[in-house]
Amino acid sequence: MGSSSLIVLLLAGLAFSAGGIAVARLFVKGTRNPQKGQPYECGVPTEGSPWNQFNVGYYLYALIFLIFDVELIFLYPWAVVVKRVGMAALAEIIVFLFVLYMGFLYAHKKGALKWM
Amino acid sequence: MFSIEHITHLIDAWLYGNLPPTLALLIECLIVGLAAITLFAVLGLVLVLMERKVSAHMQIRLGPNRVGPGGMFQTVADTLKLAMKEGLTPDGADKFLFNLAPYLVIVVSMMILAPVAFAKGVQLWDLNIGVLYVTAISSLSVIGILMAGWASNNKYSLLGAMRSGAQIVSYELSAGMSLISIVVLTGSLRISDIIASQQNGWWLFKGHIPAVISFAIFIIAVTAETNRAPFDLAEAESELTAGFHTEYSGMKFALFFLAEYVNIFIVCAIAATLFLGGWMPLHIGNWAGFNHVMDYIPSSIWFVGKVFSLIFLIMWFRWTFPRLRIDQLLRLEWKYLLPISMLNLLLMTLIAINGWHF
């Protein structure tokens, strides 16, 4: 099937979700009621907007993730050739992982991974 | 003997033999699209029923048993009920992102199907970076979840989405490391090469202890990535109502629910392909007689059997382990799984370079 399968799957996904929602819209006769549009917070009236500050911890984890994710991308081409290159490639990746891990340990020491 | 490979080849040959090439390609695209949609619908129906039946039997109940023989049509009835419900958009929500999120989640899980080998010779696109493609596309699904949670204008949704984001991106690292350790052994990212390299035994058995460790880490990581218990913090019902899809109702909720189950199928298919040989029957070294007997079972049955065993394992986790707290969850990944999977990768490289694997 080849690369055209990507477009086919993309369109199939769109058609599937659009079809489902369209069928539901055909059957349903909606009624309006001011209570219906309220955010569902277990019956308690909402206090303020949710779009404000939240825990910085999530952001720190995202930053550390970014470093390791880029590392992961570098590991893919390495993994394909490592068997042919041999021990030299292993030594190089040990240095690479060591440097990265030192950075991770530094972040850990600074308390970036502590929750609250 | 009829196998899926024969049927697809027959259709392909007939189309290109009797019709002009452009029309044949169009019809082929249509068939593939319909097949993918049917697969989605069937998977959703089967997996939801399986989940309910498995959890019922683990708790010594019967589970759904009223609609159809043995409750077989329970999920169909539930889907019909959901189709009758109004799809609300809350007043304060970001309407565009709120309505876009279900589409994104479904399209992403549909597109991961491209390199999955369902049986011998049944694969949509055998691209040369198959494993990288799967990891790249599957990491997009977190955007759909964040979008849904943020656009809902609900604090529970926002918290659920944030937890889910932190959890998915964290566990992606060790899942990726486990995949790379198999790529080191095979020296190829192409799915068909990886399956062919397991001709004389699955990597789980051939790769010594490191392969077993990376299989265990992969299963833990994908359980977390699909937001399954014990890592289902994103929708912890006792604290966040339903997490990122609290505000969704009707068919949009059904789409999120379906995507969740299809994602479980996909990650189990990837695990089965890399560690358990995909559609490759159980072969042991040079036992010709044994291998020959195993070849009689069709490849599609092998694939489906392996995938559903892994899905059963993940469902089993749900009724075995209590839910973790968010700091415990992140500690498990960053302090244990990530260093272990890095060391394991180095060990695996040593084995692969020296040819110590079978």
* Domain limits, chain B: 1-84, 87-354
Within-domain flag for A116: no
* Model confidence at B303: pLDDT above 80: yes
Q: Is residue A104 part of a domain?
A: yes
pLDDT of residue B340: 92
pLDDT of residue B307: 92
Mean pLDDT score of chain A: 82
For residue B217 the two structure tokens come to 């880490």
The answer to whether position A115 is within a domain reads: no
pLDDT average, residue stretch B202-217: 86
Q: Are the beta carbons of B182 and A83 closer than 8 angstroms?
A: no
Residue B218: the pLDDT is: 92
Domains in chain A, number: 1
Say if the Cβ atoms of A65 and B82 lie within 8 Å: no
Cis before residue B322, ω within 30 degrees of 0? no
In which domain, by residue range, is A47 found? Answer: 4-109
Q: Are B232 and B322 in contact (CB under 8 A)?
A: no
Q: What does DSSP assign to residue B332? A: I
Confidence of residue B193 (pLDDT cuts 50, 70, 90): confident
Amino acid letter for position B295: D
Q: Is B341 exposed, middle or buried (0-12, 13-18, 19+ CB in 10 A)?
A: buried
Residue among A2, A9, A61 whose CB faces B166 most closely: A61
Assign residue A39 the CATH number of its domain: 1.20.58.1610
Separation CA A109–CA A31 (nearest Å): 57
pTM of this structure: 0.90
Q: Do B40 and A16 count as a contact with CB atoms less than 8 A apart?
A: yes
Cα separation, B202 vs A106, in Å, equals: 39
Q: How far is B315 from chain A (nearest CA, A)?
A: 26
Strand partners, B117: B123
Picking from B43, B85, B89, B169 by the largest number of A CB atoms within 10 A of its own CB, the best residue to mutate is B169
Which tokens belong to B357? 């694997």
- With a pLDDT cut of 70, the percent of chain B lying above it is 98
Q: Predicted confidence band at A116 (pLDDT cuts at 50, 70, 90)?
A: low
Please enumerate, as own/partner, the contacts of B208-212 that have beta carbons within 8 Å and a separation of 24 or more: B208/B351, B208/B356, B208/B357, B210/B181, B210/B344, B210/B347, B210/B348, B210/B351, B211/B181, B211/B182, B211/B185, B211/B275, B211/B348
pLDDT tens sequence across A30-68: 777 777 777 777 777 777 777 777 777 788 888 888 888
pLDDT at B32: 85
CA of residue B219 relative to chain centroid, distance:
11
Q: What is the pLDDT of residues B228-268, one digit of tens each?
A: 878 877 776 677 777 788 888 888 888 888 888 999 999 99
pLDDT tens column, B143-152: 888 888 888 8
Please compute, for residue A37, the number of CA atoms within 13 A of its CA located in the half-sphere on the CB side. 9
pLDDT at B1: 52
Within a domain: A114: no
Chain B residues in contact with A57 (beta carbon < 8 A): 166
Q: Once rounded to an integer, what is the mean pLDDT over residues B307-323? A: 89
The residues, any chain, with a CB within 8 Å of residue B323's CB and separated by 6 or more, are B229, B230, B231, B232, B233, B236
Higher per-residue pLDDT: B67 or B312: B312
* Chain A residues 55-114 with a CB less than 8 Å from chain B: 55, 57-58, 61-62, 64-65, 68-69, 72, 75-76, 79-84, 86-87, 89-90, 93-94, 97, 101, 108, 113
ipTM of the shown complex: 0.86
What pLDDT, on the 0 to 100 scale, is given for residue B2?
Answer: 60
The per-residue pLDDT for B265 is: 92
Q: Is 80 exceeded by the pLDDT of residue B349?
A: yes
Interface mutation vs chain B, best among A16, A23, A64, most B CBs within 10 Å: A16
**pLDDT for res A95:** 92
User: Is residue A31 assigned to a domain?
Assistant: yes
Q: CB-based contacts of B94: which residues, under 8 Å, 6+ apart? A: B150, B151, B153
| Average pLDDT value for chain B | 85
3-state secondary structure of B181: helix
pLDDT of residue B301: 87
The answer to whether the Cα torsion of B119, B123, B128, B134 is positive or negative is negative
